[in-house]
């Protein structure tokens, strides 16, 4: 593993342990050249996924890009990071186990929206406003109506 500080190639693992959900191994590393310390994560990857964009362009699936977009939607929201990690891990597992090597960006967006809806309504609305390209305040109406309907169903349920 290349050192992110000096670029040295001979880093050493000092500690390894599973993450809380056992979906990854967290490794603490040290570089003998510069004494820099850093953390890496090792995850199971069932298959290489390719994302098919709306334009038809193809790009490799990037878990970190997905995590960043979820974190942006959740910025300043009181959601436990472990719940967020479980949601992202579940979403990635679902994509990898679908049997398809290519996945439409729309599919990923809808899965993220469902995950966020279960985590935090504000984050869900934030993500949806970007994902669905809202232009005006009235574009939020149908989305907010969903929550009103869900609330009524819960009260009747």
Res. 131: pLDDT tops 90 = no
Of 153 and 123, which is predicted with more confidence?
123
* Domain assignment of residue 144, yes or no: no
* Domain assignment of residue 24, yes or no: yes
Residue whose token pair is 């934030």: 126
Residue whose token pair is 């469902």: 114
Asked whether residue 129 falls in the same domain as residue 77, the answer is yes
pLDDT of the residue at 17? 93
Quick: pLDDT tens for 103-126: 999 999 999 999 999 999 899 989
- The arrangement of strands across the sheet holding 37-43 comes to 12-18, 24-30, 37-43
d(CA 130, CA 59): 20
Asked whether residue 23 falls in the same domain as residue 62, the answer is no
* Domain assignment of residue 147, yes or no: no
pLDDT of the residue at 153? 63
Secondary structure (3-state) at 38: strand
Res. 156: pLDDT tops 80 = no
Asked whether residue 25 falls in the same domain as residue 75, the answer is no
d(CA 46, CA 128): 28
Asked whether residue 70 falls in the same domain as residue 114, the answer is yes
* 124 phi/psi in degrees, rounded to 5: -60, -45
Asked whether residue 131 falls in the same domain as residue 116, the answer is yes
Quick: pLDDT tens for 68-101: 999 999 999 999 988 998 899 899 989 988 888 8
Tokens read off for 132: 């669905």
Asked whether residue 11 falls in the same domain as residue 71, the answer is no
Asked whether residue 6 falls in the same domain as residue 49, the answer is no
Average pLDDT, the chain: 88
Asked whether residue 60 falls in the same domain as residue 103, the answer is yes
* Domain assignment of residue 1, yes or no: yes
pTM over 0.85: no
Asked whether residue 64 falls in the same domain as residue 7, the answer is no
Asked whether residue 51 falls in the same domain as residue 127, the answer is yes
* 149 phi/psi in degrees, rounded to 5: -65, -40
Helix or strand run (H / E) with residue 17:
strand 12-18
State the residue range of the domain holding 73: 45-139
Asked whether residue 52 falls in the same domain as residue 97, the answer is yes
What is the number of domains present in the chain?
A: 2
Of 144 and 126, which is predicted with more confidence?
126
Helix axis angle for 63-73 and 121-131, nearest 10°, is: 120
Of 22 and 107, which is predicted with more confidence?
107
Asked whether residue 76 falls in the same domain as residue 133, the answer is yes
């Amino acid at each position: 593993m290349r050192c992110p500080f000096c670029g040295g190639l001979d880093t050493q693992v000092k500690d390894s342990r599973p993450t809380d959900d056992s979906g990854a191994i967290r490794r603490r590393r040290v570089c003998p050249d510069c004494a820099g310390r850093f953390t890496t994560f090792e995850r199971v990857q069932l298959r290489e996924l390719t994302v098919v964009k709306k334009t038809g362009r193809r790009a490799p699936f990037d878990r970190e890009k997905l995590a960043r977009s979820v974190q942006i939607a959740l910025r300043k929201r009181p959601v436990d990071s472990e719940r967020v990690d479980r949601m992202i891990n579940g979403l990635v597992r679902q994509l990898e186990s679908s049997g398809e090597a290519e996945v439409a960006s729309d599919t990923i967006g809808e899965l993220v929206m469902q995950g966020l809806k279960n985590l935090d309504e504000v984050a869900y609305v934030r993500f949806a406003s970007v994902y669905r390209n809202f232009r005006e305040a009235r574009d939020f109406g149908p989305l907010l109506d969903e929550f009103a309907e869900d609330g009524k169903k819960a009260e009747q349920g």
